[in-house]
Amino acid sequence: MSDATNRFSFEERISYLKEYGSHCMSFSSLQSGIQYFDMPGIGYIAYEQKWGFRAVLSDPVCHANDRETLIGEFLQDGASTGFAQISEPVTKLLYEKFGYFSTQFGIESVIDLNNWNLKGKKKQVLRTSLNQAAKREIFIHENYTEYRHDQFSKQWMKTRKLDSREIRFLIRPMNMDYQEGTRKFFAYQKDQLIGFIFFDPVYLNGKIISYVPNISRFDRSFRQGIFYTIMIHAMDVFKKEGIEQIHLGLSPFSVSDADSHFEAGLPKKMVRFLYQHGNRIYSFKGMHFTKSRFRGTEFRTFCAHKGKLPFREIMTLFKISNFF
Protein backbone atom coordinates (compact mmCIF):
# COMPACT_ATOMS: atom_id res chain seq x y z
CA MET A 1 0.00 0.00 0.00
CA SER A 2 2.91 2.38 0.63
CA ASP A 3 3.34 3.28 -3.02
CA ALA A 4 -0.27 4.50 -3.14
CA THR A 5 -0.06 6.60 0.03
CA ASN A 6 0.08 10.38 -0.44
CA ARG A 7 0.87 10.00 -4.14
CA PHE A 8 -1.11 13.02 -5.34
CA SER A 9 0.21 16.55 -5.27
CA PHE A 10 -1.92 18.99 -3.29
CA GLU A 11 -3.24 20.49 -6.54
CA GLU A 12 -4.22 17.04 -7.83
CA ARG A 13 -6.02 16.25 -4.58
CA ILE A 14 -8.02 19.48 -4.83
CA SER A 15 -9.02 18.60 -8.39
CA TYR A 16 -10.45 15.25 -7.19
CA LEU A 17 -12.19 17.01 -4.30
CA LYS A 18 -13.89 19.46 -6.65
CA GLU A 19 -14.96 16.70 -9.01
CA TYR A 20 -16.21 14.13 -6.48
CA GLY A 21 -16.38 15.81 -3.04
CA SER A 22 -20.14 15.51 -2.67
CA HIS A 23 -20.16 14.17 0.90
CA CYS A 24 -20.62 16.76 3.65
CA MET A 25 -17.25 15.72 5.14
CA SER A 26 -15.26 15.62 1.90
CA PHE A 27 -13.77 19.08 2.51
CA SER A 28 -12.82 18.01 6.06
CA SER A 29 -10.50 15.41 4.54
CA LEU A 30 -8.03 18.28 4.05
CA GLN A 31 -7.50 18.86 7.78
CA SER A 32 -4.01 18.37 9.18
CA GLY A 33 -2.98 14.90 10.36
CA ILE A 34 -4.94 13.09 7.65
CA GLN A 35 -3.23 10.50 5.43
CA TYR A 36 -4.37 9.45 1.98
CA PHE A 37 -4.60 6.39 -0.20
CA ASP A 38 -4.44 7.65 -3.79
CA MET A 39 -5.33 6.01 -7.10
CA PRO A 40 -4.47 8.08 -10.18
CA GLY A 41 -7.45 8.46 -12.47
CA ILE A 42 -9.81 7.30 -9.70
CA GLY A 43 -9.59 9.36 -6.48
CA TYR A 44 -8.53 9.01 -2.87
CA ILE A 45 -9.47 7.71 0.58
CA ALA A 46 -8.75 9.88 3.62
CA TYR A 47 -7.82 8.19 6.89
CA GLU A 48 -5.93 8.53 10.14
CA GLN A 49 -3.91 5.81 11.83
CA LYS A 50 -3.52 5.15 15.56
CA TRP A 51 -2.82 2.11 17.75
CA GLY A 52 -2.42 -0.07 14.65
CA PHE A 53 -5.86 0.87 13.34
CA ARG A 54 -6.84 2.92 10.28
CA ALA A 55 -9.95 5.10 10.64
CA VAL A 56 -11.31 6.22 7.26
CA LEU A 57 -13.14 9.55 7.23
CA SER A 58 -16.21 9.90 5.01
CA ASP A 59 -17.02 8.31 1.66
CA PRO A 60 -14.14 7.74 -0.80
CA VAL A 61 -13.57 10.83 -2.93
CA CYS A 62 -14.22 9.28 -6.33
CA HIS A 63 -17.02 8.50 -8.78
CA ALA A 64 -19.65 6.19 -7.29
CA ASN A 65 -18.85 3.57 -9.94
CA ASP A 66 -15.20 3.44 -8.78
CA ARG A 67 -15.84 2.99 -5.06
CA GLU A 68 -15.50 -0.79 -5.10
CA THR A 69 -12.19 -0.62 -6.99
CA LEU A 70 -10.70 2.05 -4.74
CA ILE A 71 -11.83 0.42 -1.49
CA GLY A 72 -10.65 -3.00 -2.69
CA GLU A 73 -7.15 -1.71 -3.41
CA PHE A 74 -7.04 0.11 -0.09
CA LEU A 75 -8.01 -3.00 1.91
CA GLN A 76 -5.69 -5.32 -0.02
CA ASP A 77 -2.89 -5.11 2.55
CA GLY A 78 -5.14 -6.54 5.27
CA ALA A 79 -4.51 -3.74 7.78
CA SER A 80 -7.10 -3.29 10.54
CA THR A 81 -9.48 -0.68 9.13
CA GLY A 82 -12.79 0.95 9.97
CA PHE A 83 -14.90 3.59 8.24
CA ALA A 84 -16.44 6.61 9.98
CA GLN A 85 -19.31 8.85 8.89
CA ILE A 86 -20.11 7.10 5.61
CA SER A 87 -23.30 7.14 3.57
CA GLU A 88 -25.74 4.25 3.29
CA PRO A 89 -24.69 3.29 -0.28
CA VAL A 90 -21.05 2.94 0.82
CA THR A 91 -22.20 1.03 3.91
CA LYS A 92 -24.08 -1.49 1.79
CA LEU A 93 -21.11 -1.85 -0.56
CA LEU A 94 -18.78 -2.60 2.35
CA TYR A 95 -21.18 -5.24 3.65
CA GLU A 96 -21.93 -6.95 0.35
CA LYS A 97 -18.43 -6.90 -1.18
CA PHE A 98 -16.04 -6.77 1.76
CA GLY A 99 -17.87 -8.36 4.69
CA TYR A 100 -18.07 -5.28 6.88
CA PHE A 101 -20.83 -4.81 9.43
CA SER A 102 -22.04 -1.33 10.25
CA THR A 103 -23.49 0.68 13.09
CA GLN A 104 -25.68 3.70 12.47
CA PHE A 105 -23.71 6.66 13.79
CA GLY A 106 -26.32 9.39 13.41
CA ILE A 107 -28.29 11.27 10.80
CA GLU A 108 -27.49 13.99 8.30
CA SER A 109 -30.08 16.54 7.24
CA VAL A 110 -30.25 18.18 3.81
CA ILE A 111 -32.39 21.23 3.07
CA ASP A 112 -33.94 21.80 -0.36
CA LEU A 113 -33.57 25.57 -0.65
CA ASN A 114 -36.01 25.88 -3.54
CA ASN A 115 -38.88 24.54 -1.43
CA TRP A 116 -37.84 25.66 2.04
CA ASN A 117 -39.73 28.33 4.01
CA LEU A 118 -40.33 29.49 7.58
CA LYS A 119 -43.89 28.16 7.83
CA GLY A 120 -44.97 25.46 10.25
CA LYS A 121 -45.18 24.79 13.99
CA LYS A 122 -41.78 23.08 14.12
CA LYS A 123 -40.13 26.25 12.78
CA GLN A 124 -41.56 28.55 15.46
CA VAL A 125 -38.17 28.65 17.19
CA LEU A 126 -36.61 29.93 13.94
CA ARG A 127 -39.16 32.74 13.66
CA THR A 128 -38.66 33.62 17.32
CA SER A 129 -34.91 33.81 16.78
CA LEU A 130 -35.35 36.21 13.86
CA ASN A 131 -37.73 38.39 15.88
CA GLN A 132 -35.35 38.50 18.84
CA ALA A 133 -32.45 39.42 16.55
CA ALA A 134 -34.47 42.25 15.00
CA LYS A 135 -35.49 43.52 18.46
CA ARG A 136 -31.85 43.60 19.58
CA GLU A 137 -30.77 45.21 16.28
CA ILE A 138 -28.47 42.31 15.46
CA PHE A 139 -27.19 42.11 11.89
CA ILE A 140 -25.41 39.39 9.92
CA HIS A 141 -22.44 40.15 7.70
CA GLU A 142 -20.29 37.92 5.50
CA ASN A 143 -16.86 39.08 6.53
CA TYR A 144 -13.31 38.00 5.70
CA THR A 145 -11.47 40.70 7.67
CA GLU A 146 -12.90 39.88 11.11
CA TYR A 147 -9.99 39.13 13.47
CA ARG A 148 -11.79 38.55 16.80
CA HIS A 149 -13.18 35.09 16.08
CA ASP A 150 -10.18 33.21 17.55
CA GLN A 151 -10.53 34.88 20.95
CA PHE A 152 -14.31 34.55 20.77
CA SER A 153 -13.89 30.83 20.09
CA LYS A 154 -11.53 30.39 23.06
CA GLN A 155 -14.11 31.98 25.38
CA TRP A 156 -16.86 29.84 23.86
CA MET A 157 -14.83 26.64 24.35
CA LYS A 158 -14.70 27.30 28.10
CA THR A 159 -18.49 26.94 28.23
CA ARG A 160 -18.49 23.54 26.53
CA LYS A 161 -18.71 20.18 28.28
CA LEU A 162 -15.35 19.12 26.86
CA ASP A 163 -13.90 22.46 28.01
CA SER A 164 -10.76 23.34 26.06
CA ARG A 165 -10.60 20.19 23.90
CA GLU A 166 -11.49 20.95 20.32
CA ILE A 167 -13.06 17.98 18.57
CA ARG A 168 -11.25 17.06 15.35
CA PHE A 169 -11.41 14.42 12.62
CA LEU A 170 -15.21 13.96 12.84
CA ILE A 171 -15.46 17.76 13.04
CA ARG A 172 -12.80 19.67 11.15
CA PRO A 173 -10.75 22.21 13.18
CA MET A 174 -11.78 25.86 12.98
CA ASN A 175 -8.46 26.94 11.47
CA MET A 176 -7.36 25.06 8.35
CA ASP A 177 -4.56 26.00 6.01
CA TYR A 178 -6.76 25.51 2.93
CA GLN A 179 -9.73 27.89 2.88
CA GLU A 180 -10.78 28.16 -0.78
CA GLY A 181 -14.54 27.97 -1.17
CA THR A 182 -15.34 28.44 2.53
CA ARG A 183 -17.86 31.11 3.59
CA LYS A 184 -17.81 33.05 6.88
CA PHE A 185 -20.89 34.75 8.32
CA PHE A 186 -20.73 36.80 11.55
CA ALA A 187 -23.46 38.17 13.80
CA TYR A 188 -23.00 41.61 15.39
CA GLN A 189 -24.82 43.78 17.90
CA LYS A 190 -23.47 47.21 17.13
CA ASP A 191 -19.72 46.47 17.02
CA GLN A 192 -19.86 43.47 19.34
CA LEU A 193 -19.27 40.04 17.82
CA ILE A 194 -21.90 37.63 19.19
CA GLY A 195 -21.61 34.61 16.91
CA PHE A 196 -20.42 33.13 13.63
CA ILE A 197 -20.76 30.16 11.30
CA PHE A 198 -18.11 28.94 8.86
CA PHE A 199 -19.45 26.99 5.90
CA ASP A 200 -17.49 24.44 3.88
CA PRO A 201 -18.21 23.80 0.19
CA VAL A 202 -19.72 20.57 -1.13
CA TYR A 203 -18.63 19.80 -4.71
CA LEU A 204 -19.74 17.81 -7.72
CA ASN A 205 -18.46 17.92 -11.30
CA GLY A 206 -16.23 20.90 -10.60
CA LYS A 207 -18.98 23.06 -9.09
CA ILE A 208 -20.13 23.95 -5.58
CA ILE A 209 -23.54 22.32 -5.16
CA SER A 210 -24.06 22.93 -1.44
CA TYR A 211 -22.52 24.21 1.78
CA VAL A 212 -22.29 22.66 5.24
CA PRO A 213 -21.99 24.65 8.52
CA ASN A 214 -19.02 22.83 10.02
CA ILE A 215 -17.91 25.51 12.52
CA SER A 216 -20.27 27.56 14.70
CA ARG A 217 -19.75 29.66 17.82
CA PHE A 218 -22.25 31.89 19.60
CA ASP A 219 -22.95 34.12 22.59
CA ARG A 220 -25.08 32.12 25.03
CA SER A 221 -26.98 35.25 26.11
CA PHE A 222 -29.01 35.07 22.90
CA ARG A 223 -31.97 33.12 24.27
CA GLN A 224 -33.33 31.52 21.08
CA GLY A 225 -29.99 30.72 19.50
CA ILE A 226 -28.11 33.03 17.15
CA PHE A 227 -27.27 29.93 15.09
CA TYR A 228 -30.78 30.02 13.63
CA THR A 229 -30.55 33.67 12.60
CA ILE A 230 -27.15 33.29 10.94
CA MET A 231 -28.24 30.11 9.15
CA ILE A 232 -31.40 31.68 7.73
CA HIS A 233 -29.43 34.70 6.47
CA ALA A 234 -26.77 32.50 4.85
CA MET A 235 -29.38 30.21 3.28
CA ASP A 236 -31.03 33.23 1.69
CA VAL A 237 -27.67 34.39 0.28
CA PHE A 238 -26.87 30.92 -1.08
CA LYS A 239 -30.30 30.54 -2.67
CA LYS A 240 -29.90 33.87 -4.50
CA GLU A 241 -26.55 32.59 -5.82
CA GLY A 242 -28.26 29.53 -7.31
CA ILE A 243 -27.29 26.97 -4.65
CA GLU A 244 -30.15 24.46 -4.42
CA GLN A 245 -29.42 22.69 -1.13
CA ILE A 246 -27.71 22.98 2.23
CA HIS A 247 -26.21 20.08 4.17
CA LEU A 248 -26.64 20.52 7.92
CA GLY A 249 -24.04 17.87 8.72
CA LEU A 250 -24.10 15.06 11.24
CA SER A 251 -26.34 14.79 14.30
CA PRO A 252 -24.21 12.17 16.11
CA PHE A 253 -25.80 9.21 17.88
CA SER A 254 -29.32 10.16 16.78
CA VAL A 255 -30.34 6.83 15.22
CA SER A 256 -33.52 5.24 13.91
CA ASP A 257 -35.51 2.67 15.83
CA ALA A 258 -35.37 0.25 12.89
CA ASP A 259 -32.32 -1.95 12.33
CA SER A 260 -30.99 -3.02 8.92
CA HIS A 261 -29.62 -6.45 8.05
CA PHE A 262 -26.08 -5.09 7.71
CA GLU A 263 -26.06 -3.51 11.18
CA ALA A 264 -24.50 -5.05 14.29
CA GLY A 265 -27.03 -5.10 17.13
CA LEU A 266 -24.96 -4.54 20.28
CA PRO A 267 -22.97 -1.50 19.04
CA LYS A 268 -26.20 0.20 17.97
CA LYS A 269 -27.65 -0.36 21.45
CA MET A 270 -24.55 1.34 22.83
CA VAL A 271 -25.04 4.28 20.45
CA ARG A 272 -28.65 4.63 21.60
CA PHE A 273 -27.46 4.56 25.22
CA LEU A 274 -24.88 7.29 24.56
CA TYR A 275 -27.52 9.48 22.92
CA GLN A 276 -29.79 9.14 25.94
CA HIS A 277 -27.18 9.37 28.71
CA GLY A 278 -23.99 10.87 27.21
CA ASN A 279 -25.01 14.51 27.07
CA ARG A 280 -22.69 15.40 29.94
CA ILE A 281 -19.87 14.54 27.50
CA TYR A 282 -21.31 16.22 24.42
CA SER A 283 -24.65 17.85 23.61
CA PHE A 284 -25.94 15.13 21.29
CA LYS A 285 -29.62 15.88 21.96
CA GLY A 286 -29.13 19.63 21.69
CA MET A 287 -27.41 19.33 18.31
CA HIS A 288 -30.15 17.09 16.95
CA PHE A 289 -32.90 19.40 18.24
CA THR A 290 -31.27 22.46 16.67
CA LYS A 291 -30.86 20.86 13.25
CA SER A 292 -34.29 19.21 13.31
CA ARG A 293 -35.97 22.64 13.53
CA PHE A 294 -35.07 23.25 9.87
CA ARG A 295 -37.16 20.24 8.81
CA GLY A 296 -34.70 18.95 6.23
CA THR A 297 -34.63 15.49 4.68
CA GLU A 298 -32.80 13.07 6.97
CA PHE A 299 -30.29 10.45 5.79
CA ARG A 300 -28.72 7.75 7.93
CA THR A 301 -24.96 7.90 8.49
CA PHE A 302 -22.84 4.90 9.50
CA CYS A 303 -19.56 3.58 10.80
CA ALA A 304 -18.38 0.29 9.27
CA HIS A 305 -16.30 -2.30 11.10
CA LYS A 306 -15.07 -5.80 10.38
CA GLY A 307 -16.50 -7.56 13.44
CA LYS A 308 -19.80 -7.34 15.30
CA LEU A 309 -18.15 -6.06 18.51
CA PRO A 310 -16.01 -3.07 17.45
CA PHE A 311 -15.11 -1.74 20.89
CA ARG A 312 -11.43 -1.25 20.05
CA GLU A 313 -12.38 0.56 16.84
CA ILE A 314 -14.82 2.85 18.67
CA MET A 315 -12.31 3.75 21.39
CA THR A 316 -9.65 4.47 18.78
CA LEU A 317 -12.04 6.68 16.82
CA PHE A 318 -12.93 8.61 19.98
CA LYS A 319 -9.22 9.07 20.76
CA ILE A 320 -8.45 10.31 17.24
CA SER A 321 -11.38 12.71 17.49
CA ASN A 322 -10.09 14.07 20.85
CA PHE A 323 -13.11 13.05 22.95
CA PHE A 324 -10.60 12.02 25.65
pLDDT surpasses 90 at 299: yes
Q: Report CA Rg, the chain.
A: 20
The number of C-alpha atoms within 13 Å of 186 and in the hemisphere containing its C-beta is: 19
> What is the average pLDDT across 178-206?
96
pLDDT surpasses 70 at 104: yes
Decide if 290 is inside a domain.
no
Which phi-psi region, left, alpha or beta, contains residue 77 (left: φ > 0; alpha: ψ -120 to 50)?
alpha
* pLDDT at position 2: 42
> What is the average pLDDT across 263-288?
78
Decide if 145 is inside a domain.
yes
- pTM for this predicted structure: 0.92
pLDDT surpasses 90 at 257: no
pLDDT tens digits, residue range 53-76? Answer: 999 999 999 999 999 999 999 999
Same domain, 122 and 243: yes
Out of 233, 248, 263, a domain closes at: 248
Same domain, 194 and 275: no
Same domain, 87 and 153: no
* pLDDT at position 165: 63
CB atoms within 10 A of CB 274: 17
> What is the average pLDDT across 294-312?
90
* pLDDT at position 220: 79
Same domain, 134 and 241: yes
Decide if 293 is inside a domain.
no
For the chain, what is the domain count? 2
> What does residue 180 show for φ and ψ, rounded to 5 degrees?
-55, 130
Same domain, 52 and 141: no
Same domain, 120 and 217: yes
Same domain, 123 and 180: yes
Same domain, 93 and 115: no
Same domain, 144 and 174: yes
pLDDT surpasses 70 at 163: no
Confidence of residue 1 (pLDDT cuts 50, 70, 90): very low
Among 38-42, 259-263, 273-277, 284-288, whose mean pLDDT is lowest?
Answer: 273-277
CA distances from 199 to 65, 227, 297 (A): 28, 12, 19
pLDDT surpasses 50 at 168: yes
Same domain, 114 and 102: no
For residue 37, the enclosing domain spans: 2-106+255-282+300-320
Same domain, 217 and 173: yes
Q: Specify the CATH number for the domain of residue 277.
A: 3.40.630.30
Confidence of residue 3 (pLDDT cuts 50, 70, 90): low
Same domain, 163 and 180: yes
**What does the mean pLDDT of the chain come to?**
90
Decide if 288 is inside a domain.
no
